[in-house]
Amino acid sequence: MEGKAIRLQSLRKSFGRTDAVAGVDLEIADGEFFSMLGPSGSGKTTVLRLIAGFEAPTSGTIELAGSDVTRLAPFGRDVHTVFQDYALFPHMTLEENVAYGLKVRKVSKTARTKQAREALASVQLADFGARRPSQLSGGQRQRVALARALVGRPKVLLLDEPLGALDLKLREQMQVELKAIQREVGITFVFVTHDQEEALTMSDRIAVFNQGRIEQVGTPAEIYERPASAFVAGFVGTSNLLKDRAAEQIVGSQGTYSVRPEKIRLFTESPGSAAGYKPDHSSATGTVAEVVYLGDATRFLVDLDAGGRLTAVQQNLETSSEDVAAFRGSRVTLRWHQRHNFRVPEAR
């Protein structure tokens, strides 16, 4: 059984009349890559700052590795925070930047040079130690910030949207690198992001935040395939919900159902035709309202005859952008296997 790196109990934080964190219970295991995902203002950063000790909770407790640290100052906690803006010292070389924290802790010069070099090597910047931050790309700067965090070997690394300032390509590259570094060093990562794709690709588990509360905690697959609420279904992935009359007619029962766009196939023939019918499939007729060409795939937004709208994503196996544009306004049948109708629990 793995130990618990972090345990939050009934955690609350109010700023005046705003309940930034409105009762959070959470356990994060040793060595986990854990993401806190949610829209702007949902309380993720505040939870991170509470764990780091930059804010004191209004009520509730915070444990790190089994000890209550709720009342400890930030420097008394075995965590390190990496902020979005990196906060590197411009007048110092990278090696000095990385070694700085060790110097403050009175580690000997030989030991800190050795450790700083190792940390730079772990983020693939072994040959860059003599440069200054201004001589680096954004992604390299990000890696220096990470090396500086890793050098002290904290038990827990808190990362607040660390890739937010990078362009898409660099961001995707850093996602892979960050995950590899985390696997290698075995430190617990708590990663704040509002980017659902980032959370899905990097995390062992994700907590989805909404208005200061956690709506669901689970693995990426659990969150994506079995959303615990309509909010989660909508925030993680495209909101594709069947409800009211559409649920009754298409799924055959009342309630709210989520069906992921990539599970839906789109046909131009009518559902009654031989090719269009399968007994264990759900089908729906409608009109294509919008076509979005994505290069590798196309997204079709279909207004259903039964009410509501579904998005279907099809790979562009043989179609081009001219072909897909012609679909706008056409009558189509959507079909997907019944097992992809996931009933979304009612709001609590």
The residue ranges that bind ligand ATP (CB under 6 A) are: 15, 18, 20, 38, 40-46, 194
- Whichever of 189 and 257 has its CB closer to ligand ATP, that residue is 189
- Whichever of 77 and 213 has its CB closer to ligand ATP, that residue is 213
Query: Shortest distance, CB of residue 199 to ligand ATP, whole angstroms?
Result: 12
Query: Shortest distance, CB of residue 163 to ligand ATP, whole angstroms?
Result: 13
Single-letter amino acid, residue 91: H
- Whichever of 5 and 48 has its CB closer to ligand ATP, that residue is 48
Query: Shortest distance, CB of residue 202 to ligand ATP, whole angstroms?
Result: 17
State the CB neighbour count (10 A cutoff) for residue 297: 16
Query: Shortest distance, CB of residue 18 to ligand ATP, whole angstroms?
Result: 5
- Whichever of 95 and 215 has its CB closer to ligand ATP, that residue is 215
Which among 172, 124, 131, 165 is positioned nearest to 146, based on CA atoms? 124
- How far lies 178's CA from each of 4, 83, 115, 147, 155, in Å? 22, 14, 19, 11, 16
Q: How far is CA 329 from the centre of its chain?
A: 35
CA Rg value for the chain:
24
Query: Shortest distance, CB of residue 211 to ligand ATP, whole angstroms?
Result: 9
- Whichever of 18 and 268 has its CB closer to ligand ATP, that residue is 18
- How far lies 72's CA from each of 4, 14, 61, 347, in Å? 18, 19, 11, 37
Query: Shortest distance, CB of residue 194 to ligand ATP, whole angstroms?
Result: 5
Query: Shortest distance, CB of residue 45 to ligand ATP, whole angstroms?
Result: 3
- Whichever of 23 and 41 has its CB closer to ligand ATP, that residue is 41
Q: What are 302's strand-pairing partners?
A: 288, 310
- Whichever of 23 and 255 has its CB closer to ligand ATP, that residue is 23
Query: Shortest distance, CB of residue 11 to ligand ATP, whole angstroms?
Result: 12
- Whichever of 192 and 247 has its CB closer to ligand ATP, that residue is 192
- Whichever of 50 and 304 has its CB closer to ligand ATP, that residue is 50
Query: Shortest distance, CB of residue 285 to ligand ATP, whole angstroms?
Result: 40
> Among all chains, which residue has been given the structure tokens 């952008």?
321
